[in-house]
Structure 1
Amino acid sequence: MNTLTSLIHALSYGLYAFLLGGLLLGLHRKIMARIQGRPGPPVIQYIIHTLKFYFKEITFPISAGNPLYVFVALMGIMVWMGALFLGPVFESSLLILIGLYTLQKILEHGCGLSSGSPYGKIGGVRSVFSAAAEVPLFAAAGIIYVATNSLIIGDILNYQSVHGPLLFQLPLGALAFFILVVSKAPFSPFSMVKGKDIVSGYLTEHYGLLESIIMIGDAIAWFVLLWLFMALFIGPIIISNPILTLGGMIILTVIISFICALTPLLAPNHSVMLQITIASLTLIDLAYRIIH
């Protein structure tokens, strides 16, 4: 009975994360459209699209490499469901979450190559290239560890309850992690793996149920990353209250929407270099704190 109850709780929380993440992604697209002088789709459009693809027939391109073509889509949602429970639910190790994020980059690569599409292959190659830009994540984790002496999210929250938000103590670390969140937003200036110059990037040849599964994973990912930013740099003052947590996610989504709407897509090398530059500044700050 306890196992059944735990399973129902897990599925319920996953559904909540998907619905909220999907609505926030819909809000993101709506705000971008209004800034650019377009009416834009309704806020619930992301969820509508996800449900629409869920009931569509699965098609397998003749060039697809099965079973990898199916496996990567399923693994994608499993990665973010794992991150959901290790982060917001259990407040576990930030190091494990970094490992899951790195695994996601490998899955993006496999997703692009498995379809056989030239656009998917380019997106897959760019996903590997973009992995070099994930240095801000490691830099942020390093400076958080030096400040709090822990990489357990629960310990970091406890530290902030006593010493105040890390946002003011580690502004460069917060900036590095914020850039990482921006890079995962649709139509982001750092979104080289899904750039419109390569159609839909590594997702170009995924249809029907598989695309729906990927979209569910992306919505959960957006929820997790927003929650993680607030947990690591604002702390329990906002995370402990569901209303404040929702308000914080909306504010972050609005800010990121303005950035995405007003900033052009960067070339892959420019995207990587900018993120590495920010990470380098964070690492310099980290070295200074270690020395002193």
Structure 2
Amino acid sequence: MDAILSIGHIIGALSYTLYAFLIGGLLLGFHRKIISRVQGRPGPPIIQYLIHTFKFYIKEITFPITAGNPLYLFVALMDIMVWMSALFVGVVFESSLLILVGLYVLQKIVEHGCGLSSGSPYGKLGGVRSVFSAAAEVPLFAVVGIIYVLTHSLMIGDIINYQAVNGPILFKLPLAAFAFFILLVSKAPNSPFGIVKDKCIVSGYITEHFGTLESIILISDAIAWFVLLWLFIALFIGPVLILNPLLTLVGMVALTFIISMICAITPLLTPNHSVMLQILIASLTMIDLLYMVVH
């Protein structure tokens, strides 16, 4: 009986991972389509991201002569492990926000290792920029801290329940919500903050990853987009949307559309400007904190 339950849990976990990948992939395809339309181009079909993922999955893995094995192979696998863990810790079990922060930080290590392991100068520069951009993750830590001060909990389930009683945190901590929104913008393709995959360094830290390994990274990015959008809705809007899967999807589409418009009309910032602007935005959350203290 236990074996049957275990198999059922595994199938359920894989099914939800597939669901998160498909939704995340379609949203990233939608993101690319919006940018194309705004810039006067027809753009690829919305399913193009999924097509690319499948295309690379069936291609042969290539190992550059400069690659540092086994790290070159391991970092791609670690990438999907990080975001699958985030998917289940955050979305499925609504567990600790602190664990999600730890996984998010681990992702920066993955990006750095991914770039250095290839031996490519473009990959190395992308890896170095990834470490540099870690300073821009201050908004995440600031938001987590201020939400804890308000709700007295770091459990995602507790934060959602708090909003069921007291209303969406979005209206109580608007600047914290804005800081987290900027974090979402920074993770979108073609983002003004996207310094780690800047076109001037080809594809950044994944430049030399090809075939199945690139497919794994694409799957990870789609799951990551799903998780981050879900997390924004859960933390700042709460049960109004998050308890209804259909409304959650509508919220994700709306967020993706807004972010796509920003990416379409905003030029890429330099690494220094990107990091400093995000830190400045994070500092605005202190206004929310002072407001809570005063009241």
* Structure 2 length-normalised TM: 0.98
1:261 is matched by which residue type in structure 2? A
Identify the residue that residue 37 of structure 1 maps to in structure 2.
40
2:170 is matched by which residue type in structure 1? L
Question: 1:224-263 to 2 correspondence within 5 Å?
Answer: 224-263=227-266
Equivalent position to 2:203, from 180, 200, 216: 200
Superposed displacement of residue 281, structure 1: 1.2
1:165 is matched by which residue type in structure 2? P
Q: For residues 131-168 of structure 1, give each alpha carbon's deviation from its aligned partner in whole angstroms, at most 9, with x where no partner exists.
A: 00000000101110111111100000000000000000
Instruction: State the secondary structure of the residue aligned to 1:172.
Output: helix
Identify the residue that residue 61 of structure 2 maps to in structure 1.
58
1:71 and 1:52 map into 2 onto residues whose CA distance is: 21
Q: Is the 8 A contact 2:174 2:288 kept in 1?
A: no
Q: Is the 8 A contact 1:146 1:290 kept in 2?
A: no
Q: For residues 70-104 of structure 1, give each alpha carbon's deviation from its aligned partner in whole angstroms, at most 9, with x where no partner exists.
A: 00000000000000001110000000000000000
Alignment pair present for 1:107 and 2:110: yes
Superposed displacement of residue 287, structure 1: 4.6
Superposed displacement of residue 264, structure 1: 0.3
Equivalent position to 1:5, from 4, 8, 13: 8
Q: Is the 8 A contact 1:130 1:272 kept in 2?
A: yes
Equivalent position to 2:149, from 146, 150, 158: 146
Q: Is the 8 A contact 1:140 1:176 kept in 2?
A: yes
Instruction: State the secondary structure of the residue aligned to 1:59.
Output: coil
2:278 and 2:233 map into 1 onto residues whose CA distance is: 20
Superposed displacement of residue 283, structure 1: 2.8
Alignment pair present for 1:159 and 2:167: no
Coordinate RMSD, CA, aligned: 0.9
Identify the residue that residue 117 of structure 1 maps to in structure 2.
120
Identify the residue that residue 188 of structure 1 maps to in structure 2.
191
Q: For residues 192-239 of structure 1, give each alpha carbon's deviation from its aligned partner in whole angstroms, at most 9, with x where no partner exists.
A: 000001000000000000000000000000000000000000001100
1:167 and 1:197 map into 2 onto residues whose CA distance is: 37
Superposed displacement of residue 288, structure 1: 5.0
Equivalent position to 1:91, from 91, 94, 101: 94
1:168 and 1:284 map into 2 onto residues whose CA distance is: 14
Q: Percent identity?
A: 76
Instruction: State the secondary structure of the residue aligned to 2:278.
Output: helix
* Structure 1 length-normalised TM: 0.99
Q: Is the 8 A contact 1:133 1:276 kept in 2?
A: yes
Unaligned residue ranges in structure 2 (runs of 5+): none
1:143 and 1:291 map into 2 onto residues whose CA distance is: 14
1:288 and 1:162 map into 2 onto residues whose CA distance is: 20
Q: Is the 8 A contact 1:184 1:191 kept in 2?
A: yes
Unaligned residue ranges in structure 1 (runs of 5+): none
Instruction: State the secondary structure of the residue aligned to 1:62.
Output: coil
1:266 is matched by which residue type in structure 2? L
Number of residue-to-residue matches in the alignment: 292
Alignment pair present for 1:80 and 2:76: no
Q: Is the 8 A contact 1:142 1:286 kept in 2?
A: no
